[in-house]
Structures are given as C-alpha cells and as structure tokens.
Structure 1
C-alpha cells in the first residue's frame, strides 16, 4: 500500500501549538484519563498522525479538544484533516425546543449514559452574549391546539424547586434523572403551546432554570460535556425570556465548573461575563457574582485583583445581610467558601482551612450535599498541610 499523504491541517495546528511530540501525546493521555479512558500514547503515535495515519475515531475528539485548549479557539474536524462522523453532523439550525428534547431524551435513556459520560469539557465553547440571545426564540412547530397559563409556569417552577431540594439532600446522581424526565415529558412540550407572550416568556424562564439545574447536577457527576450542553440551553432560553437572573447565574455556574477543573482563564472569562450581564445586581447577587470572580482571578495568579474582588464581595454581603430579602443560597457561609478558595489558590493553606472550617460552622443543615463536598475538600487540605509540615521538620 502507498504511504498516506501527510496531514497538512494537523501539521499546521501542531506548529501553532508549539508543543513537542511528547507534550502533544501527554496532553492526549491526560484528557483520556479525565474522560475515564486512560491512554498511553507516545511520540511515535503523534508522528504517525502528522504523516497522515488516521487516529482512532474515539481519540479524535481528544485531539481536537487538546488543540483547542492550547490555541485558544475551536478546532474542527476538517481543520485538523479528520473526516466528520455521523455524530458530528448536526442540523444547520436546530430549534431550541428540538435540541432540548433530544438532550433530555439522551439523558433519560440509561443505555446512553456511558456515551454522554465521555463528553469533554470544552474551553473553546462559544458562549452567547446577552444582546445576542435576548428576545430570540424560534417559533415552535405546533400540533394540536393547546394553551398554557401561569399555573403551568408555576408548576414547572415548583417542580424545579423540589428537584433542587433533592439535589441539596442527596446529590445530582439521585435527582438528575427526574429532572431529565420532567424536562422531556412536561416542561419542554409547554414551549410549543399557545399562550400570551407574557406567559410564553415566563415559561421559557422557568424551563431555563430547570436546564441550569440539570447542568449543575451533571457537573456533580463529572459529566462535564453534558453539563455544558444543558448550560447552553439555559442561556438560550434565559435570553429569549429576558431572564437576566438565570442568564447570569448560568454563566457563573459555568465559571464554577471551569475553575474546579483548573481552567483559570476560562473561569475568569465566564465570571466576568456573568458580572457584565447583570449591571443592576442587588447586594447579595453582587456578592454571588464577585465572589466567583475572586476565585477565578486567584487561580490565574492575579493576587491583587483577587483580593480586591473578595473585599468587594464582603462589602456586598454585609449590605445584603442587613436587608430582609435573600438571594438563593448565597450567604456568609458561601462567601467564606470563596475566601477559602482564594487563600488556597494564593498559597495560604492554613488560612484556607480556617475559612473552610468557619464556613462549615455557618452552613445550614439542609445543604447536605454541599457539606459533604466541602468537608472532603477541607480534609484534603488538612492532610496537605500536615504533609507539608512533616517534610519541613524532616
């Protein structure tokens, strides 16, 4: 057989990355491990890819994501010289409702869970801006004439609250299948029904909130690609319904996901976008947004900026605590968690532990999921401090 033709597209991307063959292979292996499929590629494999040998189909998304993270922009199959696969071909303009139903159905189906679970977190994800999505919602194809009212909107909101309560108590693995089933069977179909414009917008906002919750719970299971897909649907619907609150909350949630995965610059970009999209935020909402900016800035090493954001969040929280109306679950315990994260990112492990312990003492007992997660983080840092001190003594 004749030798394959060198892959010029992949070669260009490789040169742009500035990697060595070894670094390229190591990044692919790292992403494979993060996806739950450990790999052991070495320099000869990368060399063969550049010479035109086609990587395995399951490895191509890892190559594209690795390159996208390195060069800071989306990388397509065609740009990398790879053929498209059936799963990559999407309708040119899929409707929001159709896309939402497809996503929810896949998430409902236990046989699809392993496929959904291999989705990668993408740092090159295109995030819509508020002006780009506000007021834009394609008309759904209508079948039988049906109408909905505010009572239906209230039912979707109430169900979302119940699922959120279950998440607080037992975590996303327990509650998310319910959210997916409710989304497909009840919530999404409402978007195609007849209703006054005010009711339609209210319903889009309610379904947006449900999508955000589903994404948040997917993060809890480590299904980061799936979470991003839910988050994007939440942004689309929030913009269409002119729901600033859910739009900003979703961007912030995406920033939390990014920072927890160690993608500081992406987390900073998303946290800044959330803050910019909420110019009239109240005190508690401001603390909610700025606390996340502080954590993201600290992870990028911007010490002065991180400390400035943290002080701003503390002032906003003081104002919020003096008022009667709360915002969600962001309270002094939550702010202390951000204080702990900032201190840890800036190298103050002992200070991080102290803030985390104080946060744990103030946290309301209803938030069992959060308590378990944060106590695990606290234990890890206590062990890290003991290990460091032992090395110093030795």
Structure 2
C-alpha cells in the first residue's frame, strides 16, 4: 500500500502519543482488545505482521481493525475522548500501519484502507472533543486521503460532515456550510438516515450564516428523511431522533427562537439513549445554559443537576466547557436556595477538574 499514506499515518499517530504514557496505553489497549472474540489469535497475527514474519494480510486483519475501532468508539461515547484517543493513536502506530504495509489481495487492500480511514475519523472526532482542533484537522485530512484511496464514499462523506461540525461549533458558519454541502454532494445516493445525517448538518450551518430560508428547507428535509428511516430497520444508528432534535434546536436558536430551541433540546434529551453518556452531559449542560440565559432559573438548575449526575464519569474538554459556562451563569443567582445548592454541588464535583471555579 502507498508508502506516503502509511508514513503520514505513523507520524500523525506518534505526534498524538505521549511517550511517558506508552506503558499505560499498552495495558489499556489490551484490556479493551480482550473484548474482541478470538483476541489471542489476533494478537499473534498482529505481532507477526509487525515483526515482518507475516507479509500478507487477509479479511481477519480487517476485522481486527474494525472491531477495535468499534470498541474505542464505545469507550468514547461512554467516557469521552481524553482516555480513548491515546489508545486509538497507539493502535494506529503499532498495528494498523503494519497492516497497511503488508501485501494483500486488492479487495483486502481497499477494505484495510477503509477500516484505517474509519479509525482516523474517530480519532479526529476525539481530538475535537479535547479541543485539539489542529490535531483533529490533521486526522480528518488523513481520513479523507485513506477513504479516497479505498473508494469509500461513506467515510469520505462522514469525515467532511465531521469537519463541518467542527467548523460550526467554532463559529465558522460559512466554512461549515461549504463542508456540509461537499459532504452531501459526495453522497448523491444516500439512504434516508444518511440523508437526514447530512441535511441536518447543512441546516445548522445555514442557520449560523443567517440563511433562514435554506436552514428551514434543510431541516424539513432532515425531518422527512428521518421519518422514512425510522420506519425501516435502524441500519445507520449514528444519527437518530435525539440528533435530529439537537439540529432542530440549533437551527431555532441561530434564528432567534430561544423558546423553540429549548423545547427541541428537551425532546432530544428525552429520546437520547442512555449509552451516550458523554453527549448527554454536554447536551444537558447546553440546555441548562440556554434555560438560564432565558431566565428559567429553576428549570436550568434542574437540568444542570442531571448533567452533574454523569459528569464525574466523563473525561471531555467539551463537557468541561459546558460545566464552566453554567457555573458562570449561576454565580449571579447564589441568593436563590436552589441555585446555590446546585452550584455548591458542582463545586464539589469539579474540585479536581480543570473547570473548578476559583
């Protein structure tokens, strides 16, 4: 496989790895990998490829990368990217790069490139979660390169959309819309759930640019596509009614409808799967922030209290930011008994975290 692709992947992964933690990373990665069926055999095959004893790979190695990516993604969803991303970087450098260098039939070569692009995209997403935006962009660009070489339009579109999400969250609406449109254009035959996944992001980006007409058009398209998707088997579960309601909330907020934004975010929280703990903390923090900004003190305190239930188990800079923002909004209201109680609880919960108030 391409030397430049592999070399760039290794350099990127090593850049992301902290040498002082490599022993810890190895142990953590192994504990995750134990959940993959047949792992002892997989370890042996991986070590053989790394040492040069095996120069050819097959579908089982592709399955290994896919399974590890899924496990790391699950850790990210539950606990945040602060611990999961170094595992991904270590696996990329120590195992995936060797697989990409090995000989393989053409079908296996493309499948391995695709699996590697998925891992790069996930690692970039986790870098965004830590506020490492430059690093995230490097991972995203590598994911685009790998998915292009694999002719994997799904990961290519997903990565472009991820870059759009990063841009809109940083307030770069025009660039976000360009990326969201590029993602949609690269996926002309997308199924209904993928269409909702793409048009929901287009709606958010368009709303941030102030294009009310296009934002409302895109969000209607996303709602229609989601209705069709929900009537079928849930084959593409990364975009669900909770995610759609989040986009509805963001569109309403950008267009000046704070009450509608709060209502949509409440619906998003109501239908969100409890598995997605990191997202639940972030979104409840955002909901509390908007409730407090709108003058709904009691409701905002109640939502913030729920966010604090899960927060100690999550390691995420974006979650930290949400907690910090709500604490700032609560400070002027400490003469209120409810506000003071939840504020003091937050102080205790964040005592050893970077968001602890002075």
Q: Quick check: TM above 0.5?
A: yes
> Is residue 90 of structure 2 the alignment partner of residue 181 of structure 1?
yes
- Alignment-derived partner of residue 269 in structure 2: 360
Residues matched between the structures, number:
267
The 5 A counterparts of 1:27-42 are none
Report if aligned partners of 1:314, 1:335 keep a CA contact under 8 Å in 2. Answer: yes
> Is residue 209 of structure 2 the alignment partner of residue 300 of structure 1?
yes
CA distance in 2, matches of 1:248, 1:201: 17
CA distance in 1, matches of 2:237, 2:108: 23
Report if aligned partners of 2:168, 2:208 keep a CA contact under 8 Å in 1. Answer: yes
CA distance in 1, matches of 2:168, 2:272: 22
Shift of 1:325: 3.5
| Local SS of the residue matching 1:364 | coil
CA distance in 1, matches of 2:109, 2:95: 15
Shift of 1:213: 0.2
- Alignment-derived partner of residue 201 in structure 1: 110
- Alignment-derived partner of residue 76 in structure 2: 167
- Alignment-derived partner of residue 66 in structure 2: 157
- Alignment-derived partner of residue 227 in structure 2: 318
CA distance in 2, matches of 1:226, 1:379: 30
- Alignment-derived partner of residue 252 in structure 2: 343
Shift of 1:106: 1.3
Report if aligned partners of 2:262, 2:287 keep a CA contact under 8 Å in 1. Answer: yes
Shift of 1:326: 2.5
Normalising by structure 2, we get a TM-score of 0.72
CA distance in 1, matches of 2:154, 2:6: 21
Normalising by structure 1, we get a TM-score of 0.66
**Aligned with 2:243 (options 334, 340, 358):** 334
Deviations 1:99-134 (A, max 9, x none): 11001011112579xxxxxxxxxxxxxxxxxxxxxx
Gaps in structure 1 of 5+ consecutive residues: 1-92, 113-141, 389-394
Shift of 1:96: 1.3
- Alignment-derived partner of residue 46 in structure 1: none
Shift of 1:329: 1.9
> Is residue 15 of structure 2 the alignment partner of residue 106 of structure 1?
yes
C-alpha RMSD of matched pairs (Å): 1.9
Deviations 1:334-365 (A, max 9, x none): 10000000001011111101100000000001
Shift of 1:189: 1.4
Q: Which has the higher helix share?
A: 2
| Local SS of the residue matching 1:191 | helix
Gaps in structure 2 of 5+ consecutive residues: 22-50, 298-358
Query: Quick one: higher RCO (CA 8 Å, sep 6+), 1 or 2?
Result: 2
